[in-house]
Amino acid sequence: MALKTQFSVAVLAAALLGGFAPHGSAQPSPTTNPWDLVISGSQRGVAQLTFLNDFTVSGSQIITMPPTHRDTPDDLDPRLPGGDPGRVPPTTGTENPKTIWYGLASLQGSWTWDSKGNIVGVLTEFGGPVTNGISFKGSVRPGVRITLNVNRDDGRKFTYKGIPLVPQPSIAGNYYATGGREKVPFNEIMTLTPGTDPNTYDVVGTGPAYTFMGSAYLSGSKHLALYTLSDETTNLVLRSVSGPFKFSATTGSGELKGVSEDPENQDLATTLNVKMKLRRQ
């Protein structure tokens, strides 16, 4: 899969698609509200998307892979969080290297309707210097629910399924986690504080001989996605997990699963399975 390092290409494509989009009003519109989405399939996590009347769409997501995934030495480095510190994936020497993507990513693109009234569109998924392309098709019941079936340009297929984005009871507070990375157990203590956008949180914490920071996205569909960068190595170690999460104004608990970089083998883009039970104190 070719890497696109110039976001101007995606902007041009979005402008062209938006310019040719029909401006009818008979089709069900996704623009009535922002959307709170749970991601399932070969990619998992939580996303937030906003569709606008000018036929553009934007948002962000925290994504991970099912814990059974394994990479090969030909895969690219997965350390691609959306922001500082950025990651530059190594050259693999293959004509069509795969991008193993997890962590925090931004989304931007365009949408329209097809002849049957389905939503169709494209998204650019980007974080740091690397971008991926997404094509989607789906249906919407305005103000109630939306479902988008996704094909990403690396061959992965997954689904965004969601409800209107509304503020949920705050889960800010102190948490502890018990879990394991492959067969190595760990305990962690962390604090969640409200982020800039609704239902998003900044995360700081400590584990055995390391500290970490990152972000969490909460879905009103009772899901949580969490990504962190820890100082276990000088390059930092990226981890991303998600899963069902029960919460109220005073409680929060769930079992999250996903993947982490291997701190002993970062150059080969090896991923390790992670499970953690997260509980509010």
| CA atoms of 254 and 261, how far apart (whole Å) | 22
| Residue range 232-267, pLDDT digits in tens | 999 899 999 999 999 998 899 999 999 999 888 766
| CA atoms of 186 and 109, how far apart (whole Å) | 39
Q: Which residue has the tokens 């814990």?
A: 67
Query: What residues contact 182, with CB distance under 8 A and at least 6 apart?
Result: 272, 273
Q: Count up the domains in the chain and report the number.
A: 2
| 83 confidence band (pLDDT: 50, 70, 90) | very low
Structural domain span for residue 71: 7-164
The residue among 139, 164, 189 that closes a domain is: 164
What pTM was computed for the model?
0.82
Q: Residue 158: what are its φ and ψ, rounded to 5°? A: -155, 180
In this structure, is residue 104 part of a structural domain?
Answer: yes
More confident residue, 184 or 26: 184
User: Is 78:65 a contact under the CB 8 Å cutoff?
Assistant: no
Top mean pLDDT of 2-11, 74-83, 101-110 is at 101-110
Q: Within this chain, do residues 140 and 54 fall inside the same structural domain, yes or no?
A: yes
Kindly tell me if the per-residue pLDDT of 17 is higher than 80: no
Q: Within this chain, do residues 76 and 159 fall inside the same structural domain, yes or no?
A: yes
Q: Within this chain, do residues 214 and 233 fall inside the same structural domain, yes or no?
A: yes
The residue among 164, 192, 212 that closes a domain is: 164
Q: Within this chain, do residues 121 and 21 fall inside the same structural domain, yes or no?
A: yes
The residue among 164, 190, 224 that closes a domain is: 164
Q: What CATH number is given to the structural domain containing 251?
A: 2.40.128
How far is CA 261 from each of CA 37, 76, 78, 207, 272, rounded to the nearest angstrom? 25, 12, 8, 16, 6
